[in-house]
């Protein structure tokens, strides 16, 4: 019978040596503490489920406010004058300077709504901005709203991108659904750190002929065979924000040749972007539009802590 291979100590805890040298009775106490930890994680799992239920309950209240935002952004309604005076245009900028900016750029009746609102919002969030290519911009200019809804069966949430008619695709709405598991994974219970992604589903984009920005044609010179020396045209995947709707496969959908570790990493990165949209970008869109809020600077407005003072000059536009 062949001897079992030694396990790799390098993958163990940094305290491995210290733990292994403890007396057995102390080791037993540690195991008891880990059992308490496991029970705590079960409660934590219940907590996240309750939070998800609350998100569904409060969604309608947020939805009515976001409908008002959509109407203003797309020029369907004009806000009441009193609503325009509750908070300043830019935090940290003196009122007299804001008045100077306003005097330089008086009202223009030809300006309807807020142009490129959502494009600007997405480009201000670092994680999302990294995915936006130059050829995506004309399409994202037709983006009129982004909404999100949570669901209980299956547990998860959906993000919907609403578009005005455009020359690129037929879809009026492109959606992405994240299905979550609020239970610890079997065999990895102690590593539980909240809801984890099970599957991500994206809508198929109905591209108009010649308008698919997620594909590009490349010419490659053949080195072998009957076509050696000739250039063949091949269609390959192109970098684009719209690859967002072609998400990584879940574990059960992958073939044996796919790298599970890399695929899981892509799945988590995709989920991170979905969370950013749902938890930060959509609810606080106007602050991303003004640039007062950025990816990792929640509510860190210019001049607020005395570190980043406003440096607007009289010559700058509002």
Burial of 278 (0-12, 13-18, 19+ CB in 10 A): buried
Of residues 114 and 98, more confidence is placed in 114
> 296: pLDDT confidence band, cut at 50, 70 and 90?
low
Phi, psi of 281 (to 5 degrees): -65, -50
- Provide the 8-state DSSP code for 4: P
13 occurs within a structural domain: no
What pLDDT does residue 211 have? Answer: 96
Distance between CA 31 and CA 312 in Å, rounded?
59
215-221 and 231-237 beta bridge pairing: antiparallel
Distances (CA, A) of 174 to 146, 184, 259: 10, 31, 28
The CATH number that applies at residue 135 is 3.30.1120.90
Predicted confidence band at 307 (pLDDT cuts at 50, 70, 90)? very low
Query: What number is the average pLDDT over the span 37-45?
Result: 96
Confidence of residue 180 (pLDDT cuts 50, 70, 90): very high
Mean pLDDT for the chain? 86
Which residue has better confidence, 211 or 310?
211
Range of the domain at 39: 28-90+113-185+192-208+240-290
Exposure string of 135-166, with b = 16+ CB inside 10 Å and e = fewer, is bbeebbebbebbbbbbeeeebbbbbebbbeeb
Secondary structure letter of residue 207 according to DSSP: B
Share of the chain above pLDDT 70, in %: 83
What is the C-alpha separation between 290 and 138, in angstroms, rounded?
21
What pLDDT sits at residue 7?
59
| Res. 217 pLDDT band, cuts 50 70 90 | confident
Q: Tell me how many domains the chain contains.
A: 1
- Assess if residue 224 is contained within a domain: no
Q: What is the pTM of this model?
A: 0.82
Give the Cα separation of 54 and 59 in Å (integer).
8
Domain assignment of residue 271, yes or no: yes
Instruction: Provide the pLDDT for residue 250.
Output: 72
Q: Please check whether residue 36 lies inside any domain of the structure.
A: yes
């Amino acid at each position: 019978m062949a001897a079992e291979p030694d396990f790799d100590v390098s993958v163990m805890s940094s305290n491995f040596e210290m733990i292994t040298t403890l007396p057995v009775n102390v080791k037993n106490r540690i195991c008891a503490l880990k059992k308490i930890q496991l029970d705590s994680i079960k409660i934590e799992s219940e907590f996240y489920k309750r939070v998800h239920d609350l998100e569904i309950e409060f969604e309608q209240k947020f939805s009515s406010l976001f409908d008002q935002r959509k109407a203003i952004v797309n020029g369907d309604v004009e806000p009441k004058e009193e609503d325009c005076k509750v908070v300043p245009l830019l935090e940290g900028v003196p009122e007299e300077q804001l008045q100077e900016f306003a005097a330089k750029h008086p009202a223009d009746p030809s300006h309807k709504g807020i142009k490129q609102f959502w494009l600007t919002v997405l480009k201000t969030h670092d994680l999302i901005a990294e995915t936006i290519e130059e050829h995506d911009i004309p399409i994202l200019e037709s983006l009129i709203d982004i909404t999100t809804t949570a669901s209980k069966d299956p547990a998860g949430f959906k993000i919907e991108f609403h578009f005005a008619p455009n020359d690129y695709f037929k879809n009026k709405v492109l959606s992405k659904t994240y299905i979550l598991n609020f239970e610890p994974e079997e065999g990895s219970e102690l590593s539980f750190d909240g809801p984890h992604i099970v599957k991500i589903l994206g809508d198929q984009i109905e591209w108009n002929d010649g308008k698919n920005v997620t594909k590009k044609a490349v010419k490659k010179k053949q080195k072998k065979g009957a076509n050696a020396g000739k250039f063949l045209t091949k269609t390959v995947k192109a970098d684009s924000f719209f690859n967002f709707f072609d998400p990584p496969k879940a574990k059960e959908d992958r073939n044996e040749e796919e790298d599970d570790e890399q695929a899981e990493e892509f799945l988590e990165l995709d989920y991170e972007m979905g969370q950013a949209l749902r938890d930060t970008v959509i609810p606080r869109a106007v602050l991303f539009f003004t640039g007062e809020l950025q990816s990792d600077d929640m509510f860190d407005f210019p001049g607020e802590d005395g570190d980043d003072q406003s440096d607007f000059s009289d010559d700058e536009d509002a």
